[in-house]
Amino acid sequence: MQRIVNGPNSVRLKCCMAILLMAALVFSSGCDERQGVQVGGTPPGISGNDIRGEYVTLGLFKGNVVVLYFWTNSCCADGLKELEPYFSQNRQKGLTVLAVNEGDTKETVESCVKKNGLTFSLQTDEHAMTAHQYGIIGFPTIFILDRSGIIREKVLGHIPIAKLEKLVSRYL
């Protein structure tokens, strides 16, 4: 039995594949643009009380290099624990860390903070509104903002602390 390789079904399949590929490219490239989270751009505003009750907004951090760390307790608490010593050593140089937790309760985040001795600012995003603004699709997602508040780096997934330090040191 002989198969037809270039028949009408093959042409339709190739057209469907091309349309799906184009749709995927349009969708994936459009997400960051609509959400305003492109490297080189200004991030969407974040404001509200952190878990210690202090009012926090990105505008308060202008003049500092900001590590904006989106995380969930189920996957990323160890990364925050690794980040704490680096933050402690460099906060006097103008390093700020704002960790935004998606989906966990304030009590869960407070427990993580206490267990790991975290001293940087943490906010909860129980309903994922902030994560949605930033187009977060996986955790952790890390943004590095320069002293002017411009997004200079975007890191998807876990990054060893030594590599994160190298990225951040460019802007400190």
CB 110 within 8 A of CB 51: yes
pTM of the model: 0.79
Handedness of CA 27, 32, 35, 41 (dihedral sign): negative
Q: What is the pLDDT of residue 141?
A: 96
d(CA 5, CA 15): 15
Q: Which burial class, exposed, middle or buried, applies to 107 when counting CB atoms under 10 A from its CB (0-12, 13-18, 19+)?
A: exposed
Pairing of strands 95-102, 121-125: parallel
Q: What is the pLDDT of residue 28?
A: 46
| CB neighbour list of residue 18: distance below 8 Å, 6 or more residues apart | none
Q: What is the pLDDT of residue 37?
A: 85
Q: What is the pLDDT of residue 32?
A: 40
CB 96 within 8 A of CB 61: yes
Chunked mean pLDDT (size 10), the chain, 172 residues? 54 52 45 64 93 94 97 91 96 97 94 95 92 94 97 96 96 96
